[in-house]
A and B are shown apart, each in its own frame.
Chain A
Amino acid sequence: MGVAALCTENLSKRYGRLLALDDLTLDVAPGEVFGFLGPNGAGKSTTIRLLLGLARPTSGRAWVFGGDAADVAAAHRRLAYVPADVALWPRMTGAEVLDLLGRIGPGVDTVYRDELVERFALDLAKPAGTYSTGNRQKVALVAAFATRAPLLVLDEPTSGLDPLMELEFRRAVAAARDNGQTVFLSSHQLAEVEAVCDRVGILSAGRLVEVASVAQLRRLHRTEVAATFTGAPPDLTGVPGVDGLHSNGAAAVRFTLNGPPAAALRALADAGVATIAVREPSLEEIFLAYYGQDAR
Chain B
Amino acid sequence: MTAVAAPAASVTPAPAPGRALTALAVRQVRRGALTVTGICAGMSALVVSMYESQALDPAALAALARNPAIRTLFGEPVALGDPGGFAVWRTGVVLSVLLAVWSFLAATRITRGEEDAGRWGLLLSGRAALADAVRGHLGVVTVVPLVAGAATAAAMIAAGADVAGSVLHGTGLAAVGLFFVAAGGLAAQLFGDRSAANGAAAAVLVLGLLARMVGDGVPALSWVRWLSPFGLVALTRPFDTGRGLPLAVLVFAAAVLLALAVRLAARRDVGGSIVPAAGGRPARTALLGSVPAFAVRRTLRPLAGWAAGVGAYFLLIGLVARSMADFLAANPQFTAMAAQAGFTLGTVEGYAATLFALLAVPVGVFVAGRVGALAADEAARRLTLPLAAPVTRTRLLAADVAAATGAALVLVSVAGAAMWAGSALVGAGLGLGDALAGTWNVVPVVLLCLGAAVLALGWAPRAVAAAGAVPAVGGFLWLVVADSVGAPAWVGDVSPFAHLAAVPVTGPDWPAAAVMTGLAAAGVAAGLAGYRRRDLTT
Contacts and interface: CB of A to CB of B under 8 A. Distances in A.
Interface of A: 49, 52, 54-56, 72-77, 79-81, 83, 85-91, 93, 95-96, 99-101, 103-106, 123-127, 129-130, 140, 143, 153
A79 B282 CA distance: 29
Nearest to B284: A96
23 contacts: A52-B387, A54-B387, A54-B536, A54-B538, A72-B390, A73-B395, A74-B390, A76-B391, A83-B381, A83-B385, A89-B377, A90-B192, A91-B193, A95-B283, A99-B288, A100-B288, A101-B386, A103-B289, A104-B294, A106-B390, A124-B283, A126-B279, A127-B277
A87 B288 CA distance: 17
Contacts of B395: 73
Given A104-B290, A104-B291, A143-B385, 10 more contacts: A54-B388, A54-B538, A88-B385, A95-B285, A101-B389, A103-B290, A104-B391, A126-B279, A129-B277, A140-B385
A87 B384 contact: yes
Nearest to A13: B535
B392 interface: yes
B384 A54 contact: yes
A237 B388 CA distance: 58
Given A54-B538, A104-B294, A83 B384 contact: yes
Contacts, number: 111
A97 to B, nearest CB: 8
Nearest to B273: A129
B380 interface: yes
Contact of A77 (B282, B291, B390, B393): B390
A79 B395 CA distance: 19
A75 B280 CA distance: 36
Contacts of B290: 103-104
Given A54-B538, A100-B294, A103-B290, A80 B278 contact: no
B193 A86 contact: no
A123 B192 CA distance: 20
A45 to B, nearest CB: 9
Nearest to B533: A56
Interface of B: 116, 192-193, 277-285, 288-291, 294, 298, 377, 380-382, 384-393, 395, 533-536, 538
A95 B281 CA distance: 10
B281 A93 contact: yes
B538 A125 contact: no
Contacts of B536: 54-55
Which A-B residue pairs are the 8 nearest by beta carbons? Answer: A125-B280, A81-B388, A95-B283, A55-B535, A76-B390, A87-B381, A105-B389, A54-B538
B279 A104 contact: no
Contacts of B380: 87
Nearest to A89: B382
B538 A105 contact: no
Given A55-B535, A90-B193, A104-B291, A72 B283 contact: no
Most buried by B among A73, A87, A106, A124: A87
Contacts of B387: 52, 54, 72
Contacts of B281: 93, 125, 127
Nearest to B392: A73
